[in-house]
A = this chain, B = another copy of it.
Amino acid sequence: MSDAIEFFFEFSSPFSYIASKRVENLAQKHGRSLIWKPFLLGAVFKQEGTQSLMAYPTKGPYSKRDIERIAAYYDLPFVWPPTFPILTVNAARAVLWAQDQSADRSVALIHALFDMAYMVGKDISSFNAVSEAAESVGFNPETVAAEIKQPSIKAKLKAVTDEAISRGVFGAPFTFVDGESFWGNDRLDIVDAWISRGGW
């Protein structure tokens, strides 16, 4: 696994959405496999004593504008979900369940959920929304709704979140490659250079 790119992301992070549209090209360009790791950013913030960007009095409004500006910079459609931050526990669990069913369709589900939230502007927090996204990529919606309530899936999300914390994740997205970690969508350019040059 040492040559894989590990991409820790959170559905409630607009920069994770933006980076999710770029990281596959990056991995492909360098012939690296890509491991998608949905985790709960709230647990990480609690650990670090920080908050969502949006919770800060001045950084909040700036970040709102910055996110819209950066999405447009990459020619990505972007709308704010009706409720923000998003409760993403169901979405993240659905992805972890899907990863055990089909690698390809689990990635399709990640995109479907991100698109539902930030392109369509739908609330993806509910079982219904998550099931609908899962159905759109070929999963049985009833199965998904039932499976994500299983203790084993809940434990999996806790394990990925614990792994994120133990590996020094304090925000999203967070990209690990070749023993280095890189925080943020903007650092994907540095990841690209780092892999190209074999570090520096």
Contacts and interface: CB of A to CB of B under 8 A. Distances in A.
B62 A58 contact: no
B56 A50 contact: yes
Contacts of A73: 190, 193, 200
A128 to B, nearest CB: 35
A158 to B, nearest CB: 19
Interface string A166-200: 00111100000000111110110010011000001
Given A48-B56, A57-B49, A70 B170 contact: no
A87 to B, nearest CB: 24
Contacts of A149: none
Interface of A: 47-50, 56-59, 61-62, 65-66, 69-70, 72-73, 168-171, 180-184, 186-187, 190, 193-194, 200
7 contacts: A49-B56, A59-B171, A66-B187, A73-B193, A184-B186, A186-B186, A186-B187
